[in-house]
Amino acid sequence: NAPDMASGHYFGTDSSGRDLLVRVAIGGRISLMVGVAAALVAVILGTLYGSLSGYLGGKVDSVMMRLLEILNSFPFMFFVILLVTFFGQNILLIFVAIGIVSWLDMA
């Protein structure tokens, strides 16, 4: 239904009478949770991997960086879709899947 300023439904309502502004806010909250959690996982994994690689140095560092370059050559969404396909659609899994793929840029 069309927006009605008098009733307080600024984005209007859907066919079931639910306020669209509230639905957009809830969707935004979930998107922010996924982004923050995935970034946290990426920072932790990338920092640990990069620190370990730098600490060990030498040939181990070279092997670890070549492995990182190989993993980085695959498309981002390919890994996320693959992980979600194998392990199911769970919001926690989506946090981890995006974080696991994003850490490659942090290392």
DSSP β-bridge partners for residue 4 = 9
Quick check: 58 pLDDT over 80? yes
Mean pLDDT score across all residues of the chain: 85
Under 8 Å between Cβ of 105 and 47? no
Residue 43: its pLDDT value, please? 92
Rounded mean pLDDT, 76-96:
81
**Looking at the whole model, is its pTM more than 0.75?**
no
Token couple for 27: 């969707």
Burial class (CB in 10 A: 0-12, 13-18, 19+), 32: exposed
Higher pLDDT, 45 or 77: 45
Rounded mean pLDDT, 71-93:
82
C-alpha 77/C-alpha 95 separation (Å) is 14
